[in-house]
Every structure is written in C-alpha cells, then in structure tokens.
Structure 1
Amino acid sequence: MTGRRTYGSYNDGCASAHALDMIGERWALIVVRELLLGPKRFVDIQRDIPGIGPGPLSQRLQELEETGVVERRLLPEPARVTVYGLTKWGHGLEAVNTALSLWAVQSPRLPLEADMGPDTLVLAMRAHARPLAAGSPDRTVALKLTDSRTTGREAVAYLATLTSTGSWIDKTAVIDGADAEVSSTTRAWKNLIIGGAVLDRAEDITSSGDRKAVQALINATKL
C-alpha cells in the first residue's frame, strides 16, 4: 500500500500488525466479507455495502488486489463482465470474520435492530453453525433470502446441509431435491436467527416440504 507508512516501517514485526496493514483500512474487511460466498461485480459490491462510495470501493479493491487478497477476472461469454473474487489466501479471512462475529455478538451495543444483506446473514449463520444431535437424520434446506433493505431485487439462494458431524450453508444456483424450501426477507429471517423469534409466528416467511428440517436449520444456526 504505497503512499502511507506501515507498522513494519515503524519496526513492528508483529504478524497481526502486518495483517492490519492489509485489511485494517476502513471498509477493507467489509469488502472481503461481501466476497466470501463468491465473486461479485463492482456494482453488486457497492449495492451490498450501504454507505460506501465508488471512490473508496475502488481504492479498497485496488489495495486488496495489490496485497494478494482479491483478484479480478473477466467472466467468459455470454456474461463477459468483470468480477472481483477472493484468492485462495483471501478465503482464509472467513476464519477472521467468524472470530470477530463470535466475539462481537457479546457486545451490549450490538445493533440488533439493524438490517443485514443476504450474504451477511448467511455468514453469521455459518459462524454459529452447530452439528445436529447424535443420531439425528441428515437434512438439507434450500433457503431463499430477499434483501429487506431494497426493493425489486431477486432472492438469493443458498443450500444448507445439516448432519450430526457438522452443518454448513453455501450459495447455490441449484436447489432441487432439498428436504425443505423456505423463502424469507432478510429482516424476518434475522429475527429468527438473531432476534429469537418463533417460526410458527413469523411473518414474511413461507416454506414447503419438511417443516422439521426448517426448524432444524434454525436451531443449528441461531445465536
């Protein structure tokens, strides 16, 4: 990151200080967070991070490219658009994002009423995901989330896999064959996962298939 002094230039050889040189600038780790579940176009990143302007976003992406955290590539035909994604090394920052989430959830000032985007909410679920109880049947749940912060946007699809050895959620384009399918706004789903709301009383949520699978997903990923 040219043009400014680093911790190393102050003779600080600490690896965590060096990490802050790379991802400690305002918006940097938030940009990384938005790419953890897959590459995005510039306009999509800006849309998903309320408050960031095109100038700061361009600067953060350039700096993250220079440090080897982010890479830019051109998608082949018919898309032929430029997207930004994390490098293999950059994906290691999900562990940092998870650790920060687990730490900050204990804050008395956590803004529980604030909205979250689909990817951000799913990353919170991944951070807190737990295995099912021993002997429980494996379950899969297709989750479609619509961003409550804006209107007219398509739902984003994810597939949750729940087992007695671990639970995880990934973004997906194919959701056929799941035990259950649930559609929700991010605000309503956040109320279940973070706010402690009850599925049977929730609004703006529809589901089909195995209702127990949906409840298992909530139980396995709620804070």
Structure 2
Amino acid sequence: MELPPKKTYADLGDACATAHALDVVGDRWSLIIARELMLGPRRFGDLQSAVVGITPAVLTDRLRHLADAGVVEQVTLDDLARTRAYRLTPWGSGLEAVMAALGRWAHASAGFPVAGAGMTPDGAIVAMRTMTPPSPQAPRPVELGLELVDVRRPAAGVRRYRLRWRRRSFELVEGTVEAPDATVTGDSTAWTAAVFGMAPLDALEHDGALSVTGDRAALAAVLELYRGVAAELA
C-alpha cells in the first residue's frame, strides 16, 4: 500500500518562513548532509561514509530534495576521472550561520555532549567554525595544519585543513599549509575533545589518538581560544 504524500507546512496553511525552512531542511538528514558539504564538494561515497546511519536510497532521495529546493547542486570535479560530486549553492551556504546558532543553542542542552558519539573530520572543523568568536584577537600569528581521519571509518581517508590566525583575521578552511607553525594529526573525535576541553591534549597524545609536531605554543594559543568559548557556554 502506497503511503500518501507527506504534507508540508505550506500545505497545512502555515505561511511562516521558519516553517518553510523546516520543509526544506527539517528532516532527519538534511542539515547533516549540509554540514558535510560546508567545506567544499563531496562525492556521493564521501557523504555515504560521513552521514552516519543513512542508506544509499535515503541519501539519494535527500540530495534530490535538496537540489530541487536549491540548497545543493551537482558539479564535476577537476580530476582525471571527472568525478561527479555535490556542493552547496550560495544560498545553501547560508546554512552555516543557521547551524552555528543551533550549535551554540545545543550546548545548553542537558543531553549534551552525547556520550560515546563521534565527529567526522568535516564535522569537527565546522564545529570549530561555529564556535569561533567574531574577529578574535591573536596573541601571536598562528598557522596550523590539521590532518584528521575518522577512526570509525578509516577507509574514508585523511582530510586536511588550514588554520590561519593573524591579528583579528581568522581563517579555517579545507586545504594544506606549506610551512605550518605546528601540525596536528589524528582522530577527528579526539581533536574535537582537545579543542573544547573535554580531554587533555597530553592524554590524547599518550593514547595515540593525536600527534603534534612543531611549535606547541602556537597550538596552545588556538586551544586557549576555544576553551574560553567552551567555558562561556558551559
């Protein structure tokens, strides 16, 4: 027996813009897909690996819905295989501000943090971007390289990111660093724990979850920034 089409809020007579937003991205998966596209295009297989628990059929359906709504679009990567991938549209990229507000709001939840849960590499970086204060004052110029892997899904490979902090200019994006002050390598969940003060960096290094090379003082300046943010939200 075929189920009747799901009614939208608009079908029910609700003209609120927030209600329309929920029609677009308010299901179980759409914001998580958007999170994994926030830093750049991703292949279907990348999304299948990163969006924990989604089936290929549901992912296909969600991507089609988001494309029809104007949130994502298909692109062809500039590689030898001319791989097809997905990326956020300019309008879809505006979800980062929405997710930042939701993330900060969720920190006050009695159910946060979720015990035993993990973070994908992109999820960890988006969380950092969410919690970065506007125009933070750098105590010193800092340039970090981050090489993160989700140990729950090692086949997904390493993701590389660049953090540059100069005076009040703060940039955290996907990419490599030619001559970083320090480089952090390891598990994305462990890195999130170090950034937001949920576990000491030394202990994570001792356990083999993270490895640090280079100027530890540069890394300490970054960790101090985020620990201050975490303390304010606690």
Fold shared, TM-score > 0.5 on shorter chain: yes
* Aligned residue-pair number: 220
Residue type at the aligned position of 2:195: I
Q: State the shift of 1:74 in Å.
A: 2.2
Identical columns (%): 37
1:107-155 CA distance string (max 9 Å, x none): 1112043111100011111111135546x22211111111121234422
CA contact (8 A) 2:46 2:156 kept: no
Other-structure match for 1:88: 90
SS at match of 2:46: helix
Other-structure match for 1:25: 27
CA contact (8 A) 1:75 1:82 kept: yes
Other-structure match for 1:179: 181
SS at match of 1:9: coil
Q: Give the TM-score normalised by the residue count of structure 2.
A: 0.87
Other-structure match for 1:43: 45
* Gapped regions of structure 1 (runs ≥ 5): none
CA contact (8 A) 1:126 1:221 kept: no
Match for 2:56 among 46, 54, 57?
54
1:60-97 CA distance string (max 9 Å, x none): 00000001000012224513111010000000000111
Other-structure match for 2:36: 34
Residue type at the aligned position of 1:191: A
Tell me, yes or no, if structure 1 residue 143 matches structure 2 residue 140.
Answer: no
* Change beyond 3 A, Cα 1:77–1:49: closer
Question: What is the CA RMSD across the aligned residues, in angstroms?
Answer: 1.9
Residue type at the aligned position of 2:91: W
Separation (CA, whole Å) in 2 of partners of 1:166 and 1:22 = 33
CA contact (8 A) 1:199 1:215 kept: no
Match for 1:74 among 53, 76, 81?
76
SS at match of 1:8: coil
Tell me, yes or no, if structure 1 residue 160 matches structure 2 residue 163.
Answer: yes
Q: State the shift of 1:211 in Å.
A: 0.8
Q: Give the TM-score normalised by the residue count of structure 1.
A: 0.91
* Gapped regions of structure 2 (runs ≥ 5): none
Residue type at the aligned position of 1:70: V
Tell me, yes or no, if structure 1 residue 127 matches structure 2 residue 133.
Answer: no
Q: State the shift of 1:106 in Å.
A: 1.4
Q: State the shift of 1:167 in Å.
A: 2.9
Residue type at the aligned position of 1:141: L
Q: State the shift of 1:19 in Å.
A: 0.6
